Amino acid sequence: MLTVNKIDNQRLDIELSGKLDTEDMKTALDQFIELANTIYQGKMLYTIVDFHLPSLGAIIHEFSRLPAMLRIINNFDRAAILTDKVWLQKAAEIEGKLIPGLKIKAFNLNQKTEAEAWLNSDE
């Protein structure tokens, strides 16, 4: 399941758990685009627990929405990733180096306070 919540005018909280199918991905991406559309210089707190690779249909749907996602991602300056999976932490930080203007930093699941502090800092 993937849920997207708008916390305020500059922040989205996203939570991913379990496996996503095509319908889950469609719903989540529609919700993300709708909520992120009015954000400028935003921040994301992305929590990933019990991660499973999405279904093939979900991956195909995500790729079909890639142009819209790339436009929307420019609305954000920072993303903090909370997960206990070290490989996801590394992948997220590499992704941050590939997306101009977006700083991504990974944290362990128990470091939510630190992640939120980083999101709100100037570092």
Contacts of 14 (CB under 8 A, 6+ apart): 2, 3, 4, 5, 32, 44, 45, 46, 47
pLDDT single digits (tens) 56-103: 666 676 767 677 777 888 899 999 999 998 988 998 988 888 888 899
| Whole-structure pTM value | 0.86
Q: In what order do the strands lie in the sheet with 42-51?
A: 2-8, 11-18, 42-51, 76-82, 103-107
Dump the DSSP string for 75-97.
Answer: TEEEEEEE-S-HHHHHHHHHHHH
Domains of the chain by residue range? 2-119
The pLDDT tens digits of the residues spanning 3-50 come to 899 999 999 999 988 777 788 878 888 898 899 999 999 999 999 987
CATH fold for the domain made of 2-119: Transcription Regulator spoIIAA (3.30.750)
